[in-house]
Amino acid sequence: MTFIPLWVLEGLRCHHWDYFISLGWFLPAIVATALVTGDSKSYHKRLDNILDSRIEIGDFYAISCHFPLAVQEFYDIRGEKDKGLAGAIADMFQCLFDMILAKHDFQPLFTAYRDYACKVVAQWHI
């Protein structure tokens, strides 16, 4: 769970994912910095400037595991008594990442696939 930032967990648990959660926030350097502070609101404002373009191919592999896990474990959906819907949403994201990683041209076209995954996540929560 070391690659799930605390403010992302807070957003999934308490705010029902009502604000944008960037895949870039799962970068190891960002997570390490976040562990130093407990002020999630000010961090959220500063992190709006973190570009998904900072995600490198190695980071993408890690994010593909940790992002669906964060959704599965911590997404609190209003009105849902069990985690079935959160699990289905996590599975959807895992399938997205699995599909991308299985592409024969993933490495040479990494930038396009990364941008696609980021757009899917950005548009999904709206």
Q: What is the pLDDT of residue 84?
A: 81
Which three-class secondary structure state does DSSP give residue 113? helix
How many Cα atoms occupy the beta-carbon half-sphere of 10 within 13 Å? 10
Query: Is position 1 within any domain?
Result: no
Report yes or no on 84 lying in a domain.
Answer: yes
pLDDT for 122: 83
Distance CA 6, CA 4 (A): 6
- Range(s) of the domain holding residue 80: 6-124
Write the single-letter amino acid at 12: L
- 50 belongs to a structural domain: yes
User: Is 12 inside any structural domain?
Assistant: yes
For the range 122-125, what are the long-range contacts, defined as Cβ-Cβ under 8 Å and sequence gap of 24 or more? 122/20, 122/22, 125/17, 125/18, 125/19, 125/20, 125/21
Q: Would you state the pLDDT for residue 109?
A: 98
SS3 content of the chain, % helix, strand, coil (to 5): 65, 0, 35
In a domain, 105, yes or no: yes
67 falls within a domain = yes
Instruction: Report yes or no: 107 and 57 within 8 Å, Cβ to Cβ.
Output: yes
What pLDDT does residue 39 have?
A: 54
Mean pLDDT of each 10-residue bin along the chain, 126 residues long: 64 64 75 55 58 88 89 73 80 96 98 95 74
Paired tokens of 23? 């895949």
Residue 97 lies in a domain: yes
Residue 57 has a pLDDT of 95
Contact present, 42 and 13 (Cβ < 8 Å):
no
The number of domains in the chain is 1
Q: Is residue 89 part of a domain?
A: yes
